[in-house]
Amino acid sequence: MSDLEEEYQLEYFHEEGFERKECPSCGAHFWTRDPDRELCGEPPCADYEFIDNPGFEAEFSLEEMREAFLSFFEEHGHERIDPYPVAANRWRDDVLLTQASIYDFQPLVTSGETPPPANPLTVSQPCIRMQDIDNVGKTGRHTMAFEMMAHHAFNAREDIENPDQYAYEGEVYWKSETVAYCDELLDSLGADIEAVTYIEDPWVGGGNAGPAIEVIYRGLELATLVFMCMEQDPDGEYELKDGNTYSFMDTYIVDTGYGLERWTWMSQGTATVYEAIYPEMISFLKDNAGLEYTDEEAELVHRAARLSGQLDIDDVDDVEAARGDIAAALEVPTDRLRELVEPLETIYAIADHCRTLAYMLGDGIVPSNVSTGYLARMVLRRTKRLADRVGVDAPLDELVDMQAERLEYRNRDTIRDIVRTEVEKYRETLERGGRQVERLADEYADRGEPIPLEEVLELYDSRGIQPDTVEEIAAEHGVNVEIPDDFYARVAARHSDDDDAGETAETAPDEAAVADLPETEKLYYDEPERTDFEAVVLDVIERDDGDGETVYDVVLDQTMFYPEGGGQPADTGSISGEDVTVEVTDVQEADGTVLHRTDGDPGKGEFVRGTVDGTRRRRLMQHHTATHIIGHAAREVLGEHVRQAGAQKGTESSRLDIRHYERISREEVKRIERLANGIVTDNLTVKQEWPDRREAEDEHGFDLYQGGIPPGEKLRLIHVGEDVQACAGTHVLRTGDIGTIKLLSNERIQDGVERLVFAAGDAAIEATQRTEDALYDAAGTLDVSPQEVPGTVERFFEEWKDRGKRIEELKEQLASVRAQGEGGGEEIDLAGTTAVIQRVDADMDELRATANALVEEGNAAVLGSGLDGATFVVAVPDGVEINAGAVVSDLAERVGGGGGGPPDFAQGGGPDADALEDALEAAPDVLRRLSEA
RNA sequence: GGGCUCGUAGAUCAGCGGUAGAUCACUCCCUUGGCAUGGGAGAGGCCCCGGGUUCAAAUCCCGGCGAGUCCA
């Protein structure tokens, strides 16, 4: 079976007297010490044998098991490292959440570009897998949140051309040692190692592959030992189970995964994993929901849990089908079983979801409508629904806090605050949505029709209302609604209608062209305030800028020009040779080579003098340092969770996007501004250093990487007061050099992401002056002092509204006077009614009022105005057979326009005011013609 | 990152090219011994902002601001 059969012939297996066997049930190959064993031992080929029969000598709590594992590997030469955040998108853009310990080291460590934090190392990495969210609680073993305990070793082949091209060299240990460690760990915990099986199960994922071994004990998969050593390669000689071909890489990595929860469960032998890992929370929730079982019921539930854990279940449909099987095995009706077990399953799910939330929020994820924040919001809402359904009335923030406390998060107050805010938002959404559904249900109830599916889809898509909520409310109103099984697929279909055209590719510098060029020496870090330098032109690459203009990319041996990066725009300036000076309009970096985009060719091999635009550079440095200061100040004011979500520096203003769960108030803006300027006036030295990556991470932790993780063995750190960040930009030497920092505005660019726009130095003064100019202009117009502007404007606004009302009143009075005055208008008799035809040069409002007044008197009205073009209003009293719309339409055509309206009141007009008199003269004929028709 | 929905009286929402509306809340009057309630009258709108189309825009189009929601 195994395509990598020879890869599993481990020394350790042979020394220890293992035998390789083929499972007659599933066909898998496995290694065992027990010569009599036939089956591989993994369900469905075997049952759980540890429930009520723990597999280790002692019982372990979650914390004890984690410690036992980590210290075992520490004692065996591994360094213990701190876990990474569960928000994997903080260091990689291909995934959102951390789903395995190896995620911590992808892509830069696994590719060999960056050294691991330790080698070999051990870690217990919190992970979140949302794939089988629906199964949590039901199967007894699925959890959304878990910790993957692991030991990793990063090896690189030495028999290659440049072994030092990788950030680690040589072999730490490989397959045989890995299995030996696992075996020894099991043995040290008192497991019956005769009963352990090692199943061959090649692993493929994310473009990499390698042999792997599943470790099975008493029916439970306790660990997976992956030997990542291959990469996808069209010419590779190994075809693996995904149908692709693979070949061996220069690096080969031990990637193991030991499920902390499963090991804890194994040590306790409880009916479900949940009861082993957070027993207090389960019993709290049971109490709170008032869940009570008789001894007989408890026994039944226990037996059911035991059975359900053994079933090979992959999705919810299977769970429901399996429930029938279990009920049959227990000889009780399916409904009775469901009634007993479902509340308990819900409680398991709540506990797990709260732990998930504790990890997410504790690691600084802020609920949002995008990215990981959205996932957190989904989990939170789902948890709230589950809690409501099963009757748990403890506040959700308290439940999450129970888990956060266990996980020893320090930011528990913030976590609770976020949960409370989110629950409140959800409550509002539900309330809004509920009302909407009520209206809809009423509407369709009146018509006696079922609510169409399209409406339900719309409710879910744009208002977040679950289809079962619609069903519930519809039932209360006696309206039918059909929710198809493929509801969510239909939602997805709505979204896949329009496939957007591919983005135009960025015009990245030609990597191939610079591949042979040496790295440019960067002078701007040593003397960020110097603007001129001397250099040798190493190469000039001629290109077309896309508009038909010829431009040049100039490569120098050294440069003072800062290439665009880290949200800081490129420097501009000029490069002068003996007889030519060229303008530098853009600077980019590719593979360590700095490319100066110029409008001329300075000549390859020439000695040149470069001059950077000093004012621009100075402004950019001020803004860059200010960005760090504002980020720090925002964290002080708003909380530890505040993290950079993006930044862009400029010469006039800059912006910093930060994660925060509420709108930032004016008061908070002021405090941030005060704090930031305090740091400026303290005139602190801005320090840069290039420490070893591992030392920097040890000392400052993961928050160094506000703007992403740079590759390499060394990091450039920028210290501004207490704030430390990995940063490649240019900074002022002392904070006092910034001069001043002014926050200009803040906007919410996404839910959970606030954008702070600010200016530093001269730009701050200019921005303040602009604001003041606007205020002074307004004050000048009002002829009051700036301080009086708000009060005066408010008074004027009120007066303006009052006058509007007064004018309305007067127009109506004028209209009724005009209607009774019987002057000026031509009156004609029309089938017993008097029609008044009159020119009133007034606006549309007044025409309407006059027409209304005439109708009040029992007359038909045809009014024309020449005030703005030509406009007409025609109104007729009830019971008069004239179509006002038709009359207006006819008259309006005579002035080059159109018009219409209901039969009793119509308006219209056209641009040709000169034709107004003629039109009014024709009006009697028009009226007679149309009244006769 | 992408999609969709919504901004109208203090609140909740109708109206979706042709005279800005309803319900609740508010003020006053009446009904009642008082309360619940019932009847009547009234006040309360830059129809989010800025452009455009049109004889005419709350309504259609574009942009902005604000809010909500689904997906990766």
In this structure, of A392-406, A434-448, A602-616, A863-877, the range with the lowest mean pLDDT score is: A434-448
Strand B nucleotides within a 7 Å radius of protein CB atoms: 1-5, 12-14, 18-19, 44-46, 54-56, 65-72
pLDDT at A92: 82
Minimal CA–CA distance to A58: which of A264, A309, A272, A284? A264
Q: Which long-range contacts (CB under 8 A, 24 or more apart) does A382-391 make?
A: A382/A133, A382/A353, A383/A349, A383/A350, A383/A353, A383/A354, A383/A357, A384/A423, A384/A426, A385/A466, A386/A346, A386/A349, A386/A350, A386/A353, A387/A350, A389/A346, A390/A289, A390/A291, A390/A343, A390/A346, A390/A347, A390/A350, A391/A289, A391/A290
Residue appearing with tokens 């030295």: A685
Determine the pLDDT at residue A146: 96
Q: Where does the pLDDT of residue A501 fall: very low under 50, low under 70, confident under 90, or very high at 90 and above?
A: very low
Which tens digit of pLDDT belongs to each residue from A176-231? 999 999 999 999 999 999 999 999 999 987 788 999 999 999 989 999 999 999 98
Most confident of A357-361, A472-476, A822-826, A920-924: A357-361
Determine the pLDDT at residue A822. 61
pLDDT digits (tens, 9 = 90+) for A302-342: 888 877 765 655 555 667 777 888 888 888 998 998 899 99
Give the integer Cα–Cα distance in Å for A86 and A705: 15
Domain ranges for chain A, please list them: 5-273, 278-410, 511-612, 618-773, 823-932
- Give residue A357's pLDDT: 96
* Mean pLDDT computed over A820-841: 81
Task: Tell me how far CA of residue A661 lies from CA of A90, A450, A635, A643, in angstroms.
Answer: 18, 39, 13, 11
In this predicted structure, the answer to whether residue A504 has a pLDDT above a threshold of 50 is: no
Q: What is the pLDDT of residue A3?
A: 59
Q: What integer is the mean pLDDT of A651-668? A: 91
Query: How high is the pLDDT of residue A498?
Result: 44
| Residues contacting A282, CB < 8 A, separation 6+ | A274, A275, A347, A348, A351
- Averaged pLDDT for residues A842-864: 88
Between A407 and A480, where is the model more confident?
A407
> According to the annotation, is A477 in a ligand binding site?
no
Stronger pLDDT, A4 or A665, i.e. the higher one: A665
pLDDT category, A843, cuts 50, 70, 90? Answer: confident
**A14-23 tens-digit pLDDT:** 999 999 999 9
What pLDDT score does A348 carry? 95
Q: Residue A419, SS3?
A: helix
A437 CA – B51 C1', rounded, Å: 36
pLDDT at A1: 36
Could you tell me whether strands A245-259 and A238-239 are parallel, antiparallel, or unpaired per DSSP bridges? Answer: antiparallel
The pLDDT value given to residue A496: 66
Q: Which residue is nearest to nucleotide B68 (CA to C1')?
A: A463
In this predicted model, what pLDDT tens digit does every residue of A901-923 receive, in sequence order?
888 899 999 988 899 999 999 99
Asked whether the predicted pLDDT for residue A511 surpasses 80, the reply is no
Digit-coded pLDDT (tens) for A271-312? 899 999 999 999 999 999 999 889 989 988 888 887 776 565
Q: Is the pLDDT of residue A526 over 70?
A: yes
List, for residues A780-820, the tens digit of each pLDDT value.
989 999 999 988 988 888 888 888 888 888 888 888 888 87
Residue A679: closest CA among A642, A617, A625: A625
A906: the nucleotide nearest its CA (via C1') is: B18
User: With pLDDT > 70 as the criterion, what percentage of chain A qualifies?
Assistant: 96
Q: Round to a whole number and report the distance in Å from the CA of A703 to the C1' of B64.
A: 35
Q: How far is the CA of A661 from the C1' of B40 (A)?
A: 50
Q: How confident is the model at residue A698 (pLDDT cuts 50, 70, 90)?
A: confident
User: Which nucleotide has the shortest C1'-to-CA distance from A429?
Assistant: B68
- pLDDT for A310 equals 58
Which residue minimizes Cα–C1' distance to B65?
A747
CA of A452, C1' of B66: distance in angstroms: 31
Q: Which protein residue lies nearest to nucleotide B69, measured between its Cα and the C1' atom? A: A462
3-class SS letters over A482-511: CCCCCHHHHHHHHHCCCCCCCCCCCCCCCH
Strand A558-559 relative to strand A521-522, pairing: parallel
Question: What's the average model confidence in pLDDT over A241-249?
Answer: 86
**Nearest nt (C1') from A848 Cα:** B19
CATH topology of domain A823-932: Diaminopimelate Epimerase; Chain A, domain 1 (3.10.310)
For residue A933, the model assigns a pLDDT of 61
What is residue A500's predicted lDDT score, i.e. its pLDDT? 39
Per mean pLDDT, which range of A613-617, A659-663, A693-697 is the poorest?
A693-697
Q: If DSSP codes are grouped into helix, strand and coil, which group holds residue A245? A: strand
Under the banding of pLDDT at 50, 70 and 90, the label for residue A2 is: very low
Quick check: A497 pLDDT over 60? no
A435-CA/B12-C1' distance, Å = 9
| Average pLDDT of the residues of chain A | 89
What percent of chain A is predicted at pLDDT more than 90? 54
CATH of the structural domain A618-773, one choice from 3.40.50.10490, 3.40.50.720, 3.30.980.10, 3.40.50.12780: 3.30.980.10
Q: pLDDT higher for A821 or A723?
A: A723
pLDDT at residue A385, rounded to an integer = 92
Angle at A596 between CA A595 and CA A599, to 5 degrees: 135
Dihedral of CA A800/A801/A806/A807: which sign?
Answer: positive
**Residues A84-123 pLDDT 10s:** 999 998 888 788 999 999 999 988 898 888 899 999 999 9
More confident: A929 or A69? A69
> Region A483-503: what's the mean pLDDT?
68
- Residue A442 confidence (pLDDT): 84
> Would you state the pLDDT for residue A513?
60
Q: Tell whether domain A5-273 is in CATH 3.30.70.80.
A: no
CA-to-C1' span, A899 to B52 (A): 21
Nucleotide nearest to A498 (CA to C1'): B3
More confident residue, A745 or A134: A745
- The fold of the A511-612 domain, in CATH, is Elongation Factor Tu (Ef-tu); domain 3 (2.40.30)
Determine the pLDDT at residue A538: 93
Tell me the pLDDT band of A344, cut-offs 50, 70 and 90: very high
The annotation status of A731 as a binding-site residue, yes or no, is yes
Report the protein residue whose CA lies nearest the C1' of nucleotide B67.
A751
